[in-house]
Amino acid sequence: MRQIAFLFAMLAALLASPALAAPDFPELSGRVVDNADLLSPAQEAELTSKLKALETQSQRQFVVATIPDLEGYDISDYGYQLGREWGIGDAERNDGALLIVAPNERKVRIEVGYGLEPVLTDGLSGLIVQQQILPRFRDGDMAGGIIAGANAVVQQLQLPDEEAQRIAQEANQKRESDGGFPVGALIWIVFILIFFILPMLRGGRRRRRFGGAVGDIILWEVGSAIARSAMNGGNDWGGRSSGGFGGGFGGGGGFSGGGGSFGGGGASGGW
């Protein structure tokens, strides 16, 4: 259902002019990119060692990034684009993951590559965000939340696939039992958007010389909001973007992405 909703939102977005320029992504300088200075040197070194050990054991790449400025983007939009730009994960297996923390926007996200979605599902990612990361962030322990969240992801990715998939499915079932965005309400929202809001914003262009840009921006934001709400279950759970191209950006410090692809799977949260 969320894929259908996303197509409707993308249709609205394609008819509008994008309100934001492409992000200016930071350099992939290592397995931990702490541009917001939330970790001490010792914490960063210890976390880097854990992520390196994960890759050695499983060949899966997991990067932790703290971002001072999302440049106006929602963290879910920024996250999958960052994953593609850096190309985290193998180009064939698409087995990369990102933990992104944006302290100024008070947002956090676990971004999951296509190949890891069976073992690091939207539901499980959401539980990690809600149970491991956000409580510590709310207490002012930014480093503790980052480390706890990263440890939970690493632990899941180190498990045998069969066990990891079982845990992930249990997390999904918990998410569904907790309830999500009502499908009926979603249908009505899409109906109103397509048949009422869109014609009002797009119609009468010959009669408005200065209002078109404003209308397009509003339409873009409405479409994006519906997509995020529908795909994330109303709580920034999950999400998926169209497309599937990978990156291939090589960072410094002897570490680089392998061309892995991201499409918006994962979960976000705020504090």
Beta bridge partner(s), residue 259:
90
**CB atoms < 10 A from the CB of 18, how many?**
12
For residues 235-256, average pLDDT: 50
For residues 255-262, average pLDDT: 93
Interior CA angle at 163 toward 259 and 114, to 5°?
25
Q: Does residue 231 contact residue 240 with C-beta atoms inside 8 Å? A: yes
Report CA dihedral (183, 189, 194, 195) to the nearest 10 degrees.
110
3-state SS of 67-136 is CCCCCCCCHHHHHHHHHHHHCCCECCCCCEEEEEEECCCCEEEEEEEHHHCCCCCHHHHHHHHHHHHHHH
Q: Residue 216's pLDDT band (boundaries 50, 70, 90)? A: low
| % of the chain surpassing 70 pLDDT | 66
CA distance 80 to 257: 14
Query: Is 211 a residue whose pLDDT tops 90?
Result: no
Q: Residue 241's pLDDT band (boundaries 50, 70, 90)? A: very low
Confidence at residue 23, expressed as pLDDT on a 0 to 100 scale: 85
Instruction: Report the chain's mean pLDDT, rounded to a whole number.
Output: 80
Question: Which DSSP state fits 253?
Answer: T
**What tens digit of pLDDT does each residue of 10-60 get?**
555 555 445 567 889 999 999 999 999 999 999 999 999 999 999 999 999
CA distance 114 to 265: 7
Q: Residue 232's pLDDT band (boundaries 50, 70, 90)? A: very low
- Give domain limits for the chain: 32-176+263-270
Q: Hey, which of 73-87, 168-182, 239-253 has the most confident mean pLDDT?
A: 73-87
- Tokens (6 digits) for 228: 């995020």
Query: Is 119 a residue whose pLDDT tops 90?
Result: yes
CA distance 97 to 185: 32
The more confident residue out of 180 and 259 is 259
Which CATH number does 32-176+263-270 carry? 3.10.310.50
Q: What are phi and psi of 110, to 5 degrees?
A: -100, 115
**What tens digit of pLDDT does each residue of 67-116 get?**
999 999 999 999 999 999 999 999 999 999 999 999 999 999 999 999 99
Q: Residue 247's pLDDT band (boundaries 50, 70, 90)? A: very low
pTM above 0.75, yes or no: no
End-to-end CA distance of the chain: 28
Confidence at residue 25, expressed as pLDDT on a 0 to 100 scale: 95
Query: Is 7 a residue whose pLDDT tops 80?
Result: no
**What tens digit of pLDDT does each residue of 184-200 get?**
455 557 667 776 677 77
Q: Of 113-122, 139-148, 192-201, where does mean pLDDT reach its minimum?
A: 192-201
Confidence at residue 173, expressed as pLDDT on a 0 to 100 scale: 85
The more confident residue out of 163 and 218 is 163
Query: Is 206 a residue whose pLDDT tops 80?
Result: no
For residues 171-177, average pLDDT: 77
